[in-house]
Amino acid sequence: MHKRVAILAVYCLAIVGYAVAQSNPQNAPTSGQSSATSQSASADAQPKAKNDEVADAKESKVTPPATPATAPNHTPVNGLKIPSGSKIYVAPMAGFENYVVAGIMKKKVPVSIVADRDKADYEINGAQETQKAGWAKIVFTGNDSTNEEASINVTQIKTGAVVFAYSVHKGNSVRGKQSAGEAIGKHLNEAIGKD
């Protein structure tokens, strides 16, 4: 009797352990150009997790007063600002650079994106990671949305100074990498529009 219960308990623990292991983020990001500054700069500026596009739209419409404790950290890392109309080069990020460019274009960020680094004033580097839904999540929640994480930093090419950094985490991302790319575009737009 006791032996049966013990076996059952071990079996249950194995299931939970497997699920927890699946839920942990993977060790390495998909592209290796992550910057340490990017996470610290705006860790508190994470957008809403669920139904992110709707949430983004709502955020831009409603403007409650910002308190210093919860205000997103959009202040430039080195006290430098990105001027409107700057030429920006988006470095390869294992395919994610295309989503970033699309996000910047969609959010109408006042910059010129160039494909040649030599013609650019600023460079965007970063890393992105996707976590697919595990079997337990699909079985019990009926949700197969991915969790997305991305982090970028904008560097002035001449001086090498990091002028802006942002990281985003979207749990149950409705539109996958597109959501992360658009969040980056939105916050870059806000940073540039503040001058």
Partner 1 sequence: MRKATILLLAIAFSLAAFAQDTQSKDAKGQDAKPAEAKTTNAPLTNKKIPANSKVFLAPMGGFEEDLKAAIQSKKVPVVLVTDKDQADYEIAGTSDTEKASAAKKVVMWNWHSNEQASITVSDRKSGEVVFAYSVNKKSSAHGKRSTAEACAKHLKEQIEGK
Q: Does 153 bind partner 1 (CB under 8 A)?
A: no
Q: Which of 152, 157, 148 is nearest to 191 (CA)?
A: 152
Q: How far is the CB of 157 from partner 1 (least distance, A)?
A: 14
* 3 sits in which H/E element: helix 2-23
Task: Candidates 10-18, 31-39, 121-129, 152-160: pick the segment binding partner 1 (CB under 8 A).
Answer: 10-18
Nearer to partner 1, 9 or 36 (CB): 9
Q: Does 158 bind partner 1 (CB under 8 A)?
A: no
Nearer to partner 1, 80 or 133 (CB): 133
Q: Does 161 bind partner 1 (CB under 8 A)?
A: no
CB neighbours (10 Å) of residue 9? 10
Task: Candidates 15-23, 75-83, 121-129, 150-158: pick the segment binding partner 1 (CB under 8 A).
Answer: 15-23
Q: Does 78 bind partner 1 (CB under 8 A)?
A: no
**Is 106 buried (19+), middle (13-18) or exposed (0-12) by CB count in 10 A?**
middle
Q: Collect all residues with Cβ–Cβ distance below 8 Å to 145 and sequence separation of at least 6.
A: 133, 172, 173, 174, 176
Q: Does 73 bind partner 1 (CB under 8 A)?
A: no
Give the footprint of partner 1 on residues 81-140 (CB under 8 A): 84-85, 95-96, 98-99, 101-106, 108-116, 119, 131-140
Cα of first residue to Cα of last residue in the chain, in angstroms, is 72
Q: How far is the CB of 1 from partner 1 (least distance, A)?
A: 8
Mark out the alpha helices in 24-162 (DSSP H runs). Answer: 36-41, 52-61, 96-106, 135-141
